[in-house]
Structure 1
Amino acid sequence: MYEKPKILICGDKAVTVEFGDELSEECNKRVIIKLYRMFKLKKIEGIISMIPTYRSLLIKYDPFKITYYELIKLVELYNNNDTEKEEVKAKVYEIPVVYGGEFGLDLDFVARYNNLTVEEVISIHTKPLYRIFMIGFTMGFAYLGGMSEKIATPRLEKPRTEVKAGSVGIAGNQTGIYPISSPGGWRIIGRTPIKIYNPTAENPILLETGNFIKFVRITEDEYRKIEKEVQLNRYHVKIYDYNDYKS
């Protein structure tokens, strides 16, 4: 039996289900596995949309198709189900990244700040599987968990007015990818040629909450080649089953 989540009423057509106060992998798993994926799998009539965060799930619903009380009963039911094995259904996106040079303006600083070599920073950054805790800030921006404290680095004192789309950065103990060109204060260590956000695609946002990212180092020549394939809509991001990838 799991702890009962807190239900917050958001107007007459939405509720927020809170699973805790801490930012932890365990809390996020309950958000994604217990509710978000289960509601998607069951295709509950009346559920209009859902927005998962680090520790909560906002559910927008049609009260003419499902009542508040019916919705809460489903929340309690799925919360108490033993669905931990759902983790094996998660996906791993391989994200190719060229590090340093014009693509990673702050890589040298990150290395110096942490008393590491550039090669050590790259090795540490490409080692983990990063869990996608939530999507937000800008279209497709993934908040990732799992970066090593060994390469944690403070943000820029003065943010840049433009960070190019695909830039991979570090801010504190977090790492992430800029899906569009925008202002930003993260320390940029590399760039991926793939489009994290593509408004013309069938699914505009590539990444999905609850899945994982694996950064894979590529050369500048490989970057240019993939970039051209992306422009011609010929490049397909490598996506693996989480369980197969781990094994």
Structure 2
Amino acid sequence: MTPKLLPCGDSAMSLQLGETVDAQTNARIIALAEAVRDLCGQGVLRGVLDIVPTYRSLLLRYDPAEIRGRALEELLLDLAGRPSLPAGPARLWRVPCLYGGEVGQDLDALAEMKGLSTEELISIHSGTDYRVYMIGFAPGFVYLGGQPQILDTPRLPKPRQLIPRGAVGIGGQQGNINSVAGPSGWRFLGWTPIRAFDPARAEPFLFRAGDHIRFCPIDADEARALETRSAAGEMIITPEDLPA
């Protein structure tokens, strides 16, 4: 698809690179976001206030007193037209997950819906490498792609009013990890003690677009122990670098 520029009010614009959700387009968007950040960091580009990569588009919010929209358009189209952009290092996070229980309240019903045993469903869900396509909706909330088709399930017709932080769920063709407590119509399989968002950390958002996540089943005792460490501010997981 030819890159398409879309105005978003008088101080923001979006560069769209595709019409569908796919890893290649998303990787291109993330590389564009990194290229813009590098130019800002070098002082070459001034006036950019926010850089927001999504599934297939890049949103930039800018200060018109610092940079004119036309100049920013030309820069984005130039970057998008380059045959290749350097991509940042890919990271894999192994995320502990307590399947079922109070938070994973849809696990058994979902397994029955799919004609699977609970153990088979857990094996499929935890045997998949998910891609973080974007962060959005709430601080640190991850939208996960790469879900096996058998797990695709529509959201609930009526959202539940309070789902806790750390809930691991499915909504349509996507997976997620709840970063903060709140209402949700997703279907939830389990809970993780990791904190995707912690404003007290030097880097409040644990995950970033382009990361990979693999869920690792744990039992209730391990979940409680990890939650105690996590609540004390300890980093209970660290990422692995993936080959380029």
CA RMSD of aligned residues (A): 2.0
Q: How far 1:38 moved relative to its partner? A: 1.2
Residue aligning to 1:62: 63
Q: Percent of aligned pairs with the same residue?
A: 38
CA deviation profile, 1:173-195 (whole Å, cap 9, x unmatched): 22111111111121111000011
Higher helix share: 1
Residue aligning to 1:36: 33
- Contact 2:98–2:217 (CA under 8 A) maintained in structure 1: yes
Residue aligning to 2:229: 229
Under a length normalisation based on structure 2, what TM-score does the superposition of the two structures give?
0.89
Matched residue type, 1:63: P
Q: How far 1:50 moved relative to its partner? A: 1.0
Distance in 2 (CA, whole Å) between partners of 1:49 and 1:154 is 32
In the superposition, relative to structure 1, how do residues 225 and 117 fare at CA in structure 2: closer, same or farther (>3 Å)?
A: same
What secondary structure is seen at the aligned counterpart in 1 of 2:94? strand
2:126 paired with 1:129: no
Distance in 2 (CA, whole Å) between partners of 1:155 and 1:66 is 42
Q: How far 1:125 moved relative to its partner? A: 0.6
In the superposition, relative to structure 1, how do residues 185 and 47 fare at CA in structure 2: closer, same or farther (>3 Å)?
A: same
Q: How far 1:45 moved relative to its partner? A: 2.8
Q: How far 1:225 moved relative to its partner? A: 1.0
**Range 73-82 or range 181-190, more displaced:** 73-82
Q: How far 1:85 moved relative to its partner? A: 5.7
Distance in 1 (CA, whole Å) between partners of 2:84 and 2:143 is 24
Matched residue pairs, number?
A: 240
Distance in 1 (CA, whole Å) between partners of 2:172 and 2:73 is 37
Residue aligning to 1:182: 182
What secondary structure is seen at the aligned counterpart in 2 of 1:230? helix
Distance in 2 (CA, whole Å) between partners of 1:163 and 1:204 is 21
Q: How far 1:84 moved relative to its partner? A: 6.0
- Contact 1:17–1:58 (CA under 8 A) maintained in structure 2: yes
Matched residue type, 2:20: E
**Range 151-160 or range 200-209, more displaced:** 151-160
In the superposition, relative to structure 1, how do residues 84 and 123 fare at CA in structure 2: closer, same or farther (>3 Å)?
A: farther
CA deviation profile, 1:93-139 (whole Å, cap 9, x unmatched): 22111111224111111110111111111111112221111111222
- Contact 1:111–1:151 (CA under 8 A) maintained in structure 2: no
- Contact 1:47–1:59 (CA under 8 A) maintained in structure 2: yes
CA deviation profile, 1:194-233 (whole Å, cap 9, x unmatched): 1111122222222212222221111211111110111111
CA deviation profile, 1:67-107 (whole Å, cap 9, x unmatched): 333322321232233436626x1222221111112241111
- Contact 2:162–2:182 (CA under 8 A) maintained in structure 1: yes
Distance in 2 (CA, whole Å) between partners of 1:46 and 1:159 is 40
Matched residue type, 2:33: Y
Gaps of 5+ in 2: none
Distance in 2 (CA, whole Å) between partners of 1:241 and 1:149 is 27
